[in-house]
Structures are given as C-alpha cells and as structure tokens.
Structure 1
Amino acid sequence: MRLSRLFKVAVATGALLSVTACGSSDGTGSSSVSGLNPPDLTARTELGESEGQVNLIAWAGYVEDGTNDPEADWVTPFEEKTGCQVETKVAASSDEMVKLMKTGRYDAVSASGDASLRLIASGDAAPVNTDLVPNYQDVFIGLLQQDWNSYEGTAYGIPHGRGANLLMYNTEKVKPAPDSWSAVFDEASKYKGRVTAYDSPIYIADAALYLRETQPGLGIDNPYALDENQFKAAVELLEEQNANVGEYWSDYLKEVSAFKSGDSVVGTTWEVIKNLTQAEGAKVDAVLPQEGATGWSDTWMLSAKAKHPNCAYKWMDWIISPEVNAEVAEWYGEAPANVKSCDLTSDPAFCDTYHATDENFWADIAVWTTPIEQCLDGRTDIKCVPYSKWVQAWTEIKG
C-alpha cells in the first residue's frame, strides 16, 4: 500500500509532527460556547478582483508548496493561476486556530469540528456562498450541511476531507481480535499500562459513544450533546480507563513507535497511522468497532474579518478541485471531499482504503462537533455541557 508521502518525509527526517487534522487541544485559549447564536452575518453575493494575497491557517500537510517534498506542491500552480500569493500559518491545535482567527490577520482556516462551532458562535467565521465555489457541487453529500459546518441551512465553510477514529491492536498480543471499544474500556485492565488513547477533550465523546450502545438507559443520542448525568457517566468511564492507559498520544510518530516497541497494544488510531505502523513492520491491524466510532471532518472557513476574501474564495474552490483534492488526500492520508477525486488518485485503491465512497461506513461515524449548551440532539428542556467544561474535565481525568 502506498503511504502518505507526508509521513514518509516525517519518518525520514525524524520530525515529530503534532496532531493536525484531528484538532488536538491543549486546553488553553479555548472559547466558551454556551449556545449557538451567531451574529447576523451575510455571505458575499459575488466575487471581485483578486487582492493578490491570501493568509491561511492550516493543519500541517494541507497547504504544500514543495518545501517538504518537491512532488507535493499545489500552492505554486494556485498562485500562478490566480495571482494570489499564499501565506500560511501552520497550527498545532484547534484551540490555537480559534485564537489565531480572533486576531483578524487571517482570511481562512482549515477548522476541525471541535473548533468550527466556536468560530461560528463567536462571529469569527462568516457564512459562505457555495454558489461562488463551483467545485462545491461535487462534494460528497455526506459532508454537506452538517452540524459542524453549517447553521440553520447556511453553509459556514467548504468541506476538505474526513477520517475515522479506529481501534488499532497488536495482532499477536490482543486475541481474539477485538470488535468492540470494550477492549479499551470495560476490558482495558487486561492490557494495563499498554492501552493508548487520543489526547484531547473531544475524546470524551468516544466514551459517550460507547455508553450510548452499552448503557442505553443513559439516553445518549449524540455523543457531543451530553446533559450533566450523561457527561458524568462518560467522565467516570474515562477516569476508570486512565488507570490502564500507558500513554495519551498527540503525535503520529509517537503512536507508531509505541506500537512498534510493544509499549502500546490497543487503542484509538487513524487509518493512515495504521498503514504507517504496518509499513514499519509492526504486527497491527485496525477495525471499526461494532458500536461505531467518532471521526473528523475539516472545513475551510472564511474569516468574518478577511482582508482578502476574493482570494480566499478562490483558494477554497482550488483545494477541493478534483485534481488538488486527490493530491492532498493522498499526501495527508484521508478520504477526499470531492467525488471526482477518486478517479484521479495515483493509487487506484486509495478511496476504497479510506472508505471515501462508502456512505454506510460514514453513517456509523459521529464526526467531531463542538459541544454547546444548546443541545445538538434537539432537546430543548435541558442544557448540555459546553466545551469549556469538557476541557476542564479532561485535565482532571488525566490527573
């Protein structure tokens, strides 16, 4: 299997990459989002002349100009075609992206679902007129008008790609092969000290998703919409898990190294990390558990204070064009957003590997969405626990 070139470069240089598209949070600088009542902003109705520049905030690997690998360059042709010179700030967490967007110095950001509603609620992200993004018509239907990229039928961004949080395990140490998240929760003591978990407050949703299936009496529907009782149950489950966790990972290569050495034998991962770990010789595999899983989808969002909105719109259309979206998906290791990209990947099996066209697969994925007091599952008689309390609880869970 052809690996993402981004990670080949990382391994060759020994670089330790921070978590990127999945939006890790260090718990600092997070905005408190109580309810989703965004200011009344209006999307542009037409585009004007290019301003000659666009300033982006992005995850590592999303805006490549040939510096990391001469073969990975979709910035230079964009600049040549549009006259918009690209300046990029690589962010290491969703919280950092939220803070940077508040400065007004940037035109667009590749936000994950644990940041997007914060940007919408605060008025830092503007509505997007998708009619001004021609390639939007070819975006997979499962990415359109979702809780993490829209509000009341108004699009607040252009989908970039998506991925699932899978269960990875050592095929020699974990037998029989697990098919449930119970391997890292109720049965985690079997692998005490060698369980690994994703290091972010949004991981609380993984516990909630598991409880949704195993404790139906809690009434959990959406793992990002938890009332106080449901939230308490998820936190207690993670506190119990903590005693068996050897490492919380927030770095691709550290998880690869831990599974290679045997320090970790079971835990949450991404498809691309599984592929890289297997290529490094580790005896691992990954599965979508029977309870389903959480996942992520990144969205290019326009700053409400954008100084170069015309170039930003051109960038959003460019990054999801069939050829470019195929290139960035293979480079990074994720399912592309554009349907037509699957015919253009260098690996003919790429979209099958990443389940790009399998909407039944994505139906079992609860994509990261910022928790807010206004319950995302439709309940109006109760307040849900907002993200700020998730951040606080995560710090306490880890001790």
Structure 2
Amino acid sequence: MFMTRGTRISAVAATAIGSIALLAGCGTSSGGSGGGEEAAELGDYEGSVSILAWPGYVEDGSNDPGVDWVSGFEEKTGCEVTSKSYGTSDEAVNLMKTGDYDVVAASGDATLRLIAAGNVAPVNTDLIPSYAGIFDFLKEKDWNSVDGQSYGVPHGYGANLLLYNTEVVTETPTSWDLVFDKASEYSGKVTAYDSPIYIADAAVYLMAHQPDLGIENPYALDEEQFQAAVDLLKEQRAHIGEYWSDYLKEIQSFETGDSAVGTTWQVIQNVLESEDATTDVVLPEEGATGWSDTWMIASQAKSPNCAYAWLDWIASPEVNAQATAYFGEAPSSQEACDYRDDCEAYHAGDAEYASQIWYWTTPIADCVDGRTDVECVDYAQWTAAWSEIKG
C-alpha cells in the first residue's frame, strides 16, 4: 500500500487558530522577504539535520524495512536524520515557529505563510545539483518563490481529480458539474475534500461557468468572487454524504457505495482499481486544483549545510522516485521515471496535463494574480468560511 496523504489537510477551526493569528499580522504581505539570506557557498556538514514533513516523506526503514532512503543519505553525508511527521499544514506552520527544525516539506497552502513569517530562507538552487533536472513547470511558481527568488525545491505533484462510480455515472463525465450544479442527482453520495483550500475547487468551476466574476486565479479571490465560491459550496453542502481527509475512508466509501462521485487523488483510484472497484477518474475540462510540495530550509537552521544536502538528495532521481512512489504522486523529474514503472498513470512530465492544475497556493491579501486595485480574501477568512460552509 502506498503511503498517501492520509490525514493531510483537514484544517478546521480547531487547528486553524494559529494560522489566523499569523495571517492577521502578515495577510497583506505579498509573501515577504523570508528570513535571512540565501547561502553563497556551503561548508562542512554539521553531523545532523532535523526534518519536518508529511507522513511518508522521510522513511528510514522503521515503518517498512524495504522502504528506506534516509540511511543512504546518512552514510553519504554523515548527517544523522531526526524527523517528525505532521498531519495538517496549520500544524506545520505552528511547529516551524518553534525553531526546532532545519528543513520542512510544505504544501502550497503553507509555503507563503512560512515565507511571510520569516520562518524559511531563500534557497540558492545553484548549490543543489539535482535542481537542474526538475521539471520547469514546477520551478519559480507562486507557491515556492517570491519575485523570482526560490524558497525551496519541488518534491512531487498531483491533481485533485473527479472520482466516480461507473455503475452510477454510466457516461464518462467531462465536467465538475456532477458535484456542483448536478449534485442533486447524486444527493447524499457526493464527497468533497475536507479543507478550507477546497474553496479553490469551487472557484475553478466558477472560472469556467460564471466568467463574469472575472476569476483569473482560484487562490486570488476578492470579496465578490470569494462569496460566490462560498455560496456554491453551501449549495453543494446539502448533497454531501461526507467530507474526507483520510484516503482510507474515501476508498471504503466508494467500495461500499456510500459515495458515488467526488474529488480524489490518482493513488486512491489506483488502490480501488487494484481491488476491482467499479470506479474511474477524470481530469475535468475546467481543470483542477492540485499540489506540489516544496522542501524548504528554516531561516534559523542549526544545520544549514546538512539541510542543503538533504534537498539535493531528496530531489535526486532515484531517491525522488522512491519517495514519490511510496507517497503516491508524480515525481519531480523525468530522470526519476527511470526508476518507476507508473509514471504514465501519474502523467509525470506531461506539461499540458500539468498546465491544467492550479497548485495549492496560500491565499493572501495581496492578490497572487497580480491585481493591485483590490484586496483579496486571505487564508484566515477561508478557514472561517469553511467552518460556516460545513456547519
């Protein structure tokens, strides 16, 4: 079984308090300048490195003896790895404020918060040889850089797809309308991802179906645009059977027939297919949200040289192939596909496919779509609205 996002972002109100407090102070920032300066050169390894990451990103064989890309790093560099897993992006943001970690693997709904708070430093990618091989469509993007300055190394990526029961939805769908405008046809059997960032999924749909709203980026919503997305999700709420953040629960829900249509990840369909479930997935014509996680270095890292070494190691083709396959996502480079046999299923390296994905990006008051004549709704307000939508 792949180690997948599992209990990833379920940032409901109880876990969002820290984020609200943080964004209240930096919500008008365009991302800030981060903490410290990028390294000009590297020195001797410090002998240890502390890493904060999603489950499945830092495996040393203790969970599965056959899954270990930490030992090789320790042997090569002499940097002993200590790691901690977190369950939500809000948790990661709060943990990074402690200064206890040298490296963090952050999703796009956390990266700009970390940069704005000065918790992570600019990264000199010239000091990371593996960076050169990473897909260009993952580099210098809104969620991992500010004003052309990189703040980390892409890990892998994936799209939030439309999953459907082929016995209930007999014709291959082409639109997200099944979970929005046509949700009443599957009332009680619609499922959606449990996170404030899901508001962006509604915005992606509105971009295509209500163009008069003028949405150019689903993470840059002014008050009117944001309210339209919230209203759409409140309408959808009446037809939701359950919201999910644990991938095992969604698998079970589709196997039992409790769910018939909803948002998902490719790895979930892979598991369902292996168990002969009557399901399939599609990337709808409107496009989709998705993720590209970023390895970032703490601005006050105690072991910056070992931190740089880890970023290079985890982005190297063979290691990146192991880590992203175990987690269930596309790797960050074409060379990594030499060590995987499932890149086609994940559309790895397909730039046209990737261009249809709106990667999670922290909503901030300074609109990430470039508008300066309005203020956009920041993540704190997204979190508050999500509680209202579900309530």
Same fold (TM over 0.5): yes
Give the Cα–Cα distance (whole angstroms) in 2 for the partners of residues 210 and 204 of structure 1: 10
**Are the equivalent residues in 2 in contact too, given 1:50–1:84 (CA < 8 A)?**
yes
Is 1:189 aligned to residue 189 of structure 2? no
**Are the equivalent residues in 2 in contact too, given 1:166–1:293 (CA < 8 A)?**
yes
The secondary structure found in structure 1 opposite 2:62 is coil
Q: Measure how far apart 1:37 and its partner are.
A: 4.9
Give the Cα–Cα distance (whole angstroms) in 1 for the partners of residues 287 and 241 of structure 2: 24
Q: Following superposition of structure 1 onto structure 2, how do residues 106-117 of structure 1 map, counting pairs within 5 Å?
A: 106-117=101-112
Q: Corresponding residue for 1:321? A: 316
Q: Corresponding residue for 1:131? A: 126
Give the Cα–Cα distance (whole angstroms) in 2 for the partners of residues 372 and 365 of structure 1: 19
Q: Corresponding residue for 1:248? A: 243
**Are the equivalent residues in 1 in contact too, given 2:164–2:281 (CA < 8 A)?**
yes
Give the Cα–Cα distance (whole angstroms) in 2 for the partners of residues 153 and 311 of structure 1: 25
Give the Cα–Cα distance (whole angstroms) in 2 for the partners of residues 180 and 353 of structure 1: 20
Q: Measure how far apart 1:25 and its partner are.
A: 2.0
Q: Measure how far apart 1:330 and its partner are.
A: 1.3
Letter of the 1:360 counterpart:
E
Q: Following superposition of structure 1 onto structure 2, how do residues 1-399 of structure 1 map, counting pairs within 5 Å?
A: 5-6=2-3, 18-20=6-8, 23-27=9-13, 28=16, 29-30=18-19, 31-32=22-23, 33-39=27-33, 41-345=36-340, 347=341, 350-399=342-391
The structure-2 alpha-carbon separation of the partners of 1:235 and 1:271, relative to structure 1 and needing over 3 Å to count, comes to: same
Q: Measure how far apart 1:68 and its partner are.
A: 1.6
Give the Cα–Cα distance (whole angstroms) in 2 for the partners of residues 249 and 278 of structure 1: 19
The secondary structure found in structure 2 opposite 1:126 is coil
Q: Which runs of 5+ in 2 are unaligned?
A: none
Q: Which runs of 5+ in 1 are unaligned?
A: 8-16
Q: Corresponding residue for 1:14? A: none
Q: Measure how far apart 1:18 and its partner are.
A: 3.5
Q: TM-score, normalised by structure 2?
A: 0.96
Percentage of pairs with the same residue: 59
**Are the equivalent residues in 1 in contact too, given 2:31–2:146 (CA < 8 A)?**
no
Please list the CA deviations of residues 56-98 of structure 1 after superposition, one character each: whole Å capped at 9, or x if unmatched. Answer: 1111111011112111100011111111111111000000000
Letter of the 1:36 counterpart:
S
The secondary structure found in structure 2 opposite 1:104 is coil
Give the Cα–Cα distance (whole angstroms) in 2 for the partners of residues 280 and 100 of structure 1: 38
The secondary structure found in structure 2 opposite 1:6 is coil
Letter of the 1:82 counterpart:
T
Give the Cα–Cα distance (whole angstroms) in 2 for the partners of residues 175 and 195 of structure 1: 16
**Are the equivalent residues in 2 in contact too, given 1:26–1:93 (CA < 8 A)?**
no
Q: Measure how far apart 1:236 and its partner are.
A: 0.1
Give the Cα–Cα distance (whole angstroms) in 1 for the partners of residues 60 and 234 of structure 2: 43
Please list the CA deviations of residues 309-349 of structure 1 after superposition, one character each: whole Å capped at 9, or x if unmatched. Answer: 1111100000010110111121111110122111121x2xx
Please list the CA deviations of residues 106-149 of structure 1 after superposition, one character each: whole Å capped at 9, or x if unmatched. Answer: 01111000000000111111000001101000000001100000
The secondary structure found in structure 1 opposite 2:37 is coil
The secondary structure found in structure 1 opposite 2:112 is helix
The structure-2 alpha-carbon separation of the partners of 1:18 and 1:6, relative to structure 1 and needing over 3 Å to count, comes to: closer
The secondary structure found in structure 2 opposite 1:380 is coil
Give the Cα–Cα distance (whole angstroms) in 1 for the partners of residues 28 and 267 of structure 2: 34
The secondary structure found in structure 2 opposite 1:125 is coil
The secondary structure found in structure 1 opposite 2:344 is helix
Give the Cα–Cα distance (whole angstroms) in 1 for the partners of residues 323 and 193 of structure 2: 24
**Are the equivalent residues in 2 in contact too, given 1:260–1:281 (CA < 8 A)?**
no
Q: TM-score, normalised by structure 1?
A: 0.94
The structure-2 alpha-carbon separation of the partners of 1:372 and 1:5, relative to structure 1 and needing over 3 Å to count, comes to: closer
**Are the equivalent residues in 2 in contact too, given 1:149–1:157 (CA < 8 A)?**
yes
The structure-2 alpha-carbon separation of the partners of 1:57 and 1:377, relative to structure 1 and needing over 3 Å to count, comes to: same
Q: Measure how far apart 1:254 and its partner are.
A: 0.2
Please list the CA deviations of residues 236-295 of structure 1 after superposition, one character each: whole Å capped at 9, or x if unmatched. Answer: 000000000000001010000000000000000000011112222321000000101000
Letter of the 1:326 counterpart:
A
Give the Cα–Cα distance (whole angstroms) in 1 for the partners of residues 193 and 328 of structure 2: 18
The secondary structure found in structure 2 opposite 1:169 is strand
Please list the CA deviations of residues 186-242 of structure 1 after superposition, one character each: whole Å capped at 9, or x if unmatched. Answer: 000111111000000000000000000000000000000000000000000000000
